[in-house]
Structures are given as C-alpha cells and as structure tokens.
C-alpha cells in the first residue's frame, strides 16, 4: 500500500520536468494519476496512468479535465519563465505570464474545489518558486511577480477552507534541471558567449552549489499530497 493509495491526482504540465516527475512519483505511491499537458506528445510514455490534453489557459478544457479526474489531489504545476527586467517586459508578456502562472490556478481550483468539498477532503499544491516573495532573482521581473501572487492565492484558498478538510500549499524550489531550464541556459549562453559560463552563472547562485533534480521536487509533492502533513496548510515550502 502506497502513501497515496485511493487518491485521484490531477497534475498540470505533466509532460516534462517537475510535473512529469511528480506524476511518476505519485503513481509509484499508489495514486490514480491523471497526467495532463497542453502538448499531447509530451505525455507519451507515462504508462499506468490516464493522460490527456488539458490547456490550463482554457476554461472549457479545465472544466472537462477536472470533471474527468474528480481529483482528491490537484497539483498546479504549469508555468512559464519570462526573462528580463521591468524595462524589458511588454504588456503582452505580463498578461501571458499572469494568465498561465496565476489565473490558471484560479481556473483549476474553482473547478476542482466543489468536488473536494463534497468529499470533505482535498490537497491542492501550487507551483511557486524561490523567486517570488521569498527572494528576487536577476531578470525575473514578471516571473517573480507571478510566483509571489501564487503564494497569496495559496494562503487565501487555505484560509477560506481550513475547516472543510481542504489543504492548499505552495512549493518554492530553487533552480531545477528540466527541458525549459536547459533552454534558458542555452539562451543565456548565447548572450554571454559561452554555454559553460551560463551554466556556471546558474549553478553558482544556488546555495547548495548544484541545481535540483525534478525527482527531488516530486518527493515534496508526494508528501503534500499524502495525509502525513494533515495539519499543514497555507504554507510555501
């Protein structure tokens, strides 16, 4: 018997990176996993779980996906990293990032919460970042602002439903190795004239002297999805 046996877990952006690692880790702990992404091809190879396309920027797609999954656990993982300072950002980039990184959580939670309230239990896990209200990072103006909003959203949902069996927590990782992170290193490498220098710039600002693996973050999502932290809600981890 796994720590998540009997639980239905809906995961957004499960095609790659932290979302994919979390889908696999939750499945290994016995959860019935509903692994979703906007990219159908990215979901290939996630055996032993239900996979389907769900675009978290689309209300109808979210409503359909949530109805199918009827989740006990909702992991809102989808997000996008905008690169640049306040002087680089455009209104369009700001709107896109807020829609994908924050409003999408409003969409999924609004859709999933009534079912959780009917059951009298539910765990919502929202992907924030160390770059948020926790700390600033270079060239992460839009990104850090959206991820700070995720912490506010998390605390609000947690408090409003604290006596109804619902827990809502946020996770705030430092840099994690993932396909989009590799793209960010490549892009910075082009700016700096060397991939190695870009890699060094990313790694040197990590207090642990290395970046995390997606599996190390997935372990935290399993913990928050389980009943072990039954008295823990509204917290950024």
CB of 8 to ligand NAD, least distance (A): 19
Site for ligand NAD (CB under 6 A): which residue of 22, 55, 137, 151?
55
Q: Rounded CA gap, 216 and 231, in Å?
A: 23
- By rule CB under 6 A, what string of x and - marks binding of each residue 63-102 to ligand NAD? --------------xxx-x------------------x--
**Residue span binding ligand NAD (CB under 6 A) among the ranges 35-43, 67-75, 113-121, 186-194:** 35-43
> Does 153 engage in binding with ligand NAD (CB under 6 A)?
no
> Does 42 engage in binding with ligand NAD (CB under 6 A)?
yes
> Does 222 engage in binding with ligand NAD (CB under 6 A)?
no
> Does 154 engage in binding with ligand NAD (CB under 6 A)?
no
> Does 16 engage in binding with ligand NAD (CB under 6 A)?
yes
Site for ligand NAD (CB under 6 A): which residue of 10, 69, 124, 127?
127
CB of 18 to ligand NAD, least distance (A): 4
**C-beta closer to ligand NAD: residue 19 or 122:** 19
CB of 212 to ligand NAD, least distance (A): 8
Mode of pairing for the β-strands spanning 50-53 and 32-37 = parallel
Of 155-214, binders to ligand NAD (CB under 6 A) are: 173, 175-176, 178-181, 214
Residue 223 annotated to the active site: no
């Amino acid at each position: 018997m796994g720590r998540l046996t009997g639980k239905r877990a809906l995961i957004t952006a499960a095609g790659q990176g932290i979302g994919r690692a979390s889908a696999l880790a939750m499945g290994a702990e016995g959860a019935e996993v509903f692994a979703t992404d906007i990219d159908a091809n990215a979901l290939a190879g996630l055996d032993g779980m239900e996979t389907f396309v769900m675009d978290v920027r689309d209300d109808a797609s979210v409503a359909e996906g949530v109805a199918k999954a009827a989740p006990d656990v909702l992991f809102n993982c989808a997000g996008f990293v905008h690169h640049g300072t306040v002087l680089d950002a455009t209104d369009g980039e700001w709107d896109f990032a807020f829609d994908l990184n924050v409003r999408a959580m409003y969409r999924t939670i609004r859709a999933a919460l009534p079912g959780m309230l009917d059951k009298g239990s539910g765990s919502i896990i929202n992907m924030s970042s160390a770059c948020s209200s926790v700390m600033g990072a270079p060239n992460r103006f839009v990104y850090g602002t959206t991820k700070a909003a995720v912490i506010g959203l998390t605390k609000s949902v947690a408090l409003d439903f604290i006596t109804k069996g619902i827990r809502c927590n946020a996770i705030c990782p430092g840099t994690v190795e993932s396909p989009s992170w590799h793209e960010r290193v490549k892009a910075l490498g082009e700016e700096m004239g060397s991939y190695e220098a870009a890699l060094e710039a990313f790694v040197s600002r990590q207090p642990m002297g290395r970046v995390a693996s997606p599996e190390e973050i997935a372990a935290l999502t399993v913990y928050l999805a389980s009943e072990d932290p039954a008295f823990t809600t509204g917290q950024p981890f």
